[in-house]
Structure 1
Amino acid sequence: MKTPQNISDFKQKALHWANQFEVCCFFDSNEYKDAYSAYDFIIAAEVTHELRCNTGSAFDELKSFYALHKQWIFGFFSYDLKNEIEDLQSNNTDGLNFPDLYFFVPKYLIAFKDGQAEVLLGKKSVLEEIELFQLQKQEQSETLQISQRLSKDQYIAKVEELRDHILRGDIYEVNFCQEFFAENAEINPVQTFELLNTVSPTPFAGYFKIYDQYILSATPERFLCKRGAKLISQPIKGTAKRSFDPTEDEAIKSQLRNDIKEQAENVMIVDLVRHDLTKSAVKGSVKVDELFGIYSFPQVHQMISTISCELKPEIHFIDAIKNAFPMGSMTGAPKVKAMKLIEAYEVTKRGIYSGSFGCISPDGDFDFNVVIRSILYNAKSKYLSFQVGGAITYQSNAASEYEECLLKASAILKVLGD
């Protein structure tokens, strides 16, 4: 154990130090207090073993990979693993080409908790190496030309068609997303992430580099976490903008808490998550720990619920992830029909967006986020993308939903200088 002189300085140096390797992963709670997070921040760098695969038998391959190494592993699940779980397809445009699943065993792993750093993997002297690491002066990234896949009119027309599906009884709710993108984009990924994490610090933020591909995430949402035999999911449904005026901000917060439409959206997803957890749970152990909790972030207030259960001893924890994937907050209800409509009405393959990244410990505990409010970047093809969306119910107003998308995109647009 070692206590760095300056924690924020150490964190910055650690990220830049890790980024010199071809693969690294950084998770940051940004000092949000959370009952289930094992560490305040954690950095994994350099590959000793890796698993890269596409839909087919990805979850089984991950089980074998974990069983072989029985070590800390870091990685991500793409949304398109849905095709392995259900009879679905993904045929939309993909400018990023991330693998469907990627995990690695790091050479170095540094965890930080309560002001102290601990080396979990690698030589102990790595802490001194980080302390002495010289930050390079960086060139500012140029302002990018950000385009939208859908015009406002196209978006509104698609939302109205989805409302027709709800009226016909095909679904109750669907999470409909749109892509913002830039071609020939040249950014400094570390610098861009640092700016995003400053503008929009969130409890499940992270930086993930795999060779030429990057996830720069300011996500506020946890997908699924395992602590001992307990599984915890915390879906977000319900969004309201912040105000600089404290009185008005409190009024907006109160309005969100009591908004019948937002509550209806939230409770539909809570029911879906309860159903997903039941597949892995000891009978009678699924419970809603918190319903309609209101949490504040720099750009938005969010309505977050917490659902938990006890994992059946005979269920492999990776099957518990598979049983809940993709997360209900990013699909809709009923889940399979919602995912079919998502494929039909969205024009971009989701890929890692609305997937999840996180880590698994040697004893089988894990913590995975939801990849939203995230910049995805392929440095080789110079393609940059981020997507935003929201829950469409019959009560949804298409123009208001479009404005909510722009609100969710605001932090990233600010970071990219658009």
Structure 2
Amino acid sequence: MIKTYNFSKDNLQTWIKKLLIWGDSNYPVFAFFDSNNVDYPQDAFRKSFFASQKSFDIEMAFGMYHTHDLVGVLSYDFKNKVEKLNSENVAIIDLPESVFFIPELKIYFEDDSIHINAENPNYVFDSINSIVINIETNKKVDVIAQTSKEEYTESIKSIQNHIVEGDIYEMNYCMAFSFETEDWNPIVGFFDLMKKSPMPFSTLYKAKDNYLLCASPERFLKKEKEQLIAQPIKGTIKRGVDSKEDEILKERLFSSEKERAENLMIVDLMRNDLSKISTTGSVKVDELFGVYAFPKVFQMISTVSSLSQENVSLRELFHATFPMGSMTGAPKIKCMELIEKYENFKRSWFSGTVGYVMENGDMDFNVIIRSILFDKKSQKGYFAVGSAITFDADASYEYEECILKASAIMEVLSFQETSKN
């Protein structure tokens, strides 16, 4: 049963806080998606909430395509099912490879109204309204860098040697930061992150004790009827202190030969991936080197689209395109082998994807970046950041770019960074 309730915009944010607190108490798995009203090419996530008492892995989800609505998170390490690869690095927290569910409760947000699809919508609405918000702010957290700047620099040199030797053209190299705490509340953490970094593909995902607090600016893959859309991000520069400096920095990013080369290599990779599941001749680049503003950075985003072949399965969609080229490099398989060699942590959900699939086959999934991964039971968490390493990359510049990308999370956690050394 679907029922609509009207809300003033002033009261909606408070109601969403109550919703997430209520959802956390009543469901072992849920997902909240939010575009934060960001104007994004080909639109962004639809503001929505889904929840269920049961979950399953992606293999079961594959068999339910075109028969059920599905919501799920998929680890980067699913690559091992797509290619003959492995993940031997240490996991900072143990996260399942995939968690999907059929939503028993669906809530959609539209301007000043909400639509509740449930067995008893009035009960859900009244239960959420009865929640008293009394959660406190999170305590400051000390975070440990898993890679020192010196180690980072040495890895960059080694990666560039592989480029010189012709093994790869470009590789996305990441470093992780971990933390341990007490009584850290992921619901509070998510709202703190949204204040600092309201992004078009934001998600709060709960899978029992595991939480994903995601402020992603990047789309992995969208399917709308027969159209497929991929929007890789490659190219980052900080925002200015005023509009004048903004324009200077925006132009610097747009004109950068290095950033354009990085972006173009991943666009070509995505064109190749999409061609595996698309009708002949339908793959095209809708926008190349588009520069878009976000709260702390400008990003260079390109849009690649195609028309899918008839009766393409969900398995085929993921196996053709996952993991996303922006988080691996080119060529993809060799880069993934080298990522395993030079990174010192298991990526797990970081650089994986989270999103939703509709019964009609439409879907939208993001790239899990700018995100906190947290285990509530152990009170341990981590986040990771990375950048594209090319032949002419400067290690100090790339390191600072990573710190810039992590700045919103750093502010949320309010930590004094310490090195593992």
The normalised TM-score by structure 2 is 0.93
Q: Distance in 2 between the 1:393 and 1:174 partners?
A: 7
What is the aligned counterpart of 1:80 among 73, 77, 81? 77
Residues 1:31 and 2:37 are matched in the alignment = yes
Deviations 1:180-238 (A, max 9, x none): 00134541000000000111000000100111000001110110011001111111000
Residues 1:11 and 2:16 are matched in the alignment = yes
What's the secondary structure of 1:84's corresponding residue? Answer: helix
Match of 1:55 in 2: none
Contact 2:62-2:314 at 8 Å conserved across structures:
no
Q: Distance in 1 between the 2:325 and 2:163 partners?
A: 17
Q: CA deviation at 1:139?
A: 2.5
Structure 1 residues 395 and 200: alpha-carbon distance in aligned structure 2, compared to 1, 3 A threshold: same
Deviations 1:56-111 (A, max 9, x none): xx5x43212446xx222111110001111111110001021111111011221101
Contact 1:109-1:122 at 8 Å conserved across structures:
no
Q: Distance in 2 between the 1:407 and 1:27 partners?
A: 24
Match of 2:418 in 1: none
Deviations 1:289-325 (A, max 9, x none): 1111111111111000010111100321331122100
Residues 1:381 and 2:355 are matched in the alignment = no
Structure 1 residues 385 and 195: alpha-carbon distance in aligned structure 2, compared to 1, 3 A threshold: same
Residues 1:61 and 2:64 are matched in the alignment = no
Amino acid in structure 2 at the alignment position of 1:24: F
What's the secondary structure of 2:95's corresponding residue? Answer: coil
Higher deviation after alignment, 136-145 or 35-44: 35-44
The root-mean-square deviation of aligned C-alpha atoms, in Å, is 1.6
What is the aligned counterpart of 1:45 among 42, 45, 51? 51
Q: State the identity as a percent.
A: 42
Q: CA deviation at 1:380?
A: 1.7
Unaligned ranges ≥5, structure 2: 416-421
Structure 1 residues 309 and 122: alpha-carbon distance in aligned structure 2, compared to 1, 3 A threshold: farther
Contact 1:146-1:182 at 8 Å conserved across structures:
yes
Q: CA deviation at 1:131?
A: 5.9
Structure 1 residues 214 and 50: alpha-carbon distance in aligned structure 2, compared to 1, 3 A threshold: same
Higher deviation after alignment, 231-240 or 103-112: 103-112
Q: Following superposition of structure 1 onto structure 2, how do residues 363-402 of structure 1 map, counting pairs within 5 Å?
A: 363-402=360-399
Deviations 1:115-161 (A, max 9, x none): 33222344321563266232321232221110011110000000011
Residues 1:407 and 2:380 are matched in the alignment = no
Unaligned ranges ≥5, structure 1: 53-57
Contact 1:242-1:299 at 8 Å conserved across structures:
yes
The normalised TM-score by structure 1 is 0.94
Q: Distance in 2 between the 1:275 and 1:185 partners?
A: 46
Higher deviation after alignment, 221-230 or 137-146: 137-146
Contact 2:44-2:201 at 8 Å conserved across structures:
no
Amino acid in structure 2 at the alignment position of 1:162: I
Q: Following superposition of structure 1 onto structure 2, how do residues 103-252 of structure 1 map, counting pairs within 5 Å?
A: 103-126=100-123, 128-129=125-126, 132-252=129-249
Contact 1:17-1:133 at 8 Å conserved across structures:
no
Higher deviation after alignment, 114-123 or 83-92: 114-123
Q: Distance in 2 between the 1:160 and 1:217 partners?
A: 31
What is the aligned counterpart of 1:321 among 313, 318, 322? 318
Q: Distance in 2 between the 1:278 and 1:73 partners?
A: 25
Q: Following superposition of structure 1 onto structure 2, how do residues 298-317 of structure 1 map, counting pairs within 5 Å?
A: 298-317=295-314
What's the secondary structure of 1:339's corresponding residue? Answer: helix
What's the secondary structure of 1:353's corresponding residue? Answer: coil
Q: Distance in 2 between the 1:330 and 1:38 partners?
A: 20
Structure 1 residues 263 and 192: alpha-carbon distance in aligned structure 2, compared to 1, 3 A threshold: same
Contact 1:14-1:130 at 8 Å conserved across structures:
no
Contact 2:38-2:44 at 8 Å conserved across structures:
no
Amino acid in structure 1 at the alignment position of 2:50: A
Contact 1:39-1:113 at 8 Å conserved across structures:
no
Count of residue correspondences: 409
